[in-house]
Amino acid sequence: MGRSALMGKLVKAEFRKILSTKLWWGLLIVALLVAGSWAGMLSSVFDGIAAELSGSEVMRLAGLELDEISFSVVFLTRAINIATIFPMLFGGLAIASELGRKTITTSFLTAPNRTMLLGAKGITYAIWGAIYGIAIILAATLGIVIGTGGDHLVGFTTWLATAAAGVLSCVLWTLLGLGVGALIGSPVGTVIVLLVYGLALGPISDLVFTGFAEGDANVAGALPNGAANGLTGSTAADTLAAEIQANATGMSSVSSDLLEGFQDTARLAAGGLGSFGLFASAAIFLAWAMLFLALGLWRTQSRDIT
């Protein structure tokens, strides 16, 4: 029997493991709620602000027509970034919960070797990361449609690019979580470490580093959280900047500074603080995910199951 046939069996077993308990379902529901409500709430609030600002002095000076700018894309990426917490936790528990419940014993005994088992988990959880990603994007999009009343929708190509980046981000967060879980080994420890980094340490360090760098690309963009946000945020920020540029018909020396300010604000709002751009961010985040997967594999190889 070939290696790929063996791998197929292990992947099938992993799918059965996931589908025979409720974790995937519980985390997915919460991810959808968070993505949808976050996108809906932010876009709804901004829609109101936009209505107030429309035709104001500043806007006239800059020559900007807010209705012409697909600012909703910012909320799409924001919603994705916050919801990636859940696929990350899902991946984190892949091996950690097996170690915690000692089902890892049987998993090791029925797999040809540990490397193949981890390979099968990697494939399975990459697929599940994509499932989470697609679901999260659909929920966030729905949230924006509801939040803006359908007035300020994202252009299709922008949406597609952001969606693709979002799915990739979810896949990589899941794999990074998988590696961290395998490295730490305890389910509780894994969840705590991932949550503390994803919700507090990552965003705060991004802000601090970017503050020192005065908004330029910096070390924050090279860290996992910054790189992930750069992956999802770059498309949105570039789209917005371009639209603002194209829309700024009443260009003047006064509005030139203002325009730059708008563009910076758009980048900031879209996330991706200190990011190195779309492809560099993708490559950096991929490297982080692979590093943690490799560390997890190394730790799993040497772990004594007593």
Residues making contact with another protein (CB under 8 A):
1, 6, 9-10, 12-13, 16-17, 20-22, 101-114, 302, 304-306
Nearer to another protein, 60 or 102 (CB): 102
On the CB side of 160, how many CA atoms lie within 13 Å of its CA?
A: 3
User: Alpha carbon of 68 to those of 63, 100, 260, 268, 271: distances in Å?
Assistant: 11, 53, 18, 20, 21
Handedness of CA 11, 12, 14, 19 (dihedral sign): positive
Which residues have a Cβ under 8 Å from the Cβ of 284 and sit 6 or more positions away? Answer: 221, 222, 227, 230, 276
Q: Which is nearer to another protein, 54 or 301 (CB)?
A: 301
Closest approach, Cβ 176 to another protein, in A, equals 24
Find the shortest distance in angstroms from Cβ 159 to another protein: 38
Q: Which amino acid is at 205?
A: S
φ and ψ of 222, to 5 deg: -95, -10
Two tokens at 55?
């035709």
Least distance CB 181 / another protein (angstroms): 16
Of 82 and 111, the one with the shorter C-beta distance to another protein is 111
CB of 125 to another protein, least distance (A): 16
Closer residue to another protein (CB): 107 or 229: 107
Residue 35's contacts (CB-CB under 8 Å, 6 or more residues apart) are: 79, 80, 82, 83, 136, 137, 139, 140, 143
Task: Please state the closest distance from residue 92 (CB atom) to another protein, in A.
Answer: 17
What span, in angstroms and rounded, lies between the C-alpha atoms of 66 and 53? 8
Closer to another protein by CB, 113 or 157: give it: 113
| Beta carbon of residue 16, minimum distance to another protein (angstroms, whole number) | 5
Residue 61 and residue 5: Cα distance in Å, rounded? 65
Q: Which is nearer to another protein, 17 or 78 (CB)?
A: 17
SS3 at position 179: helix
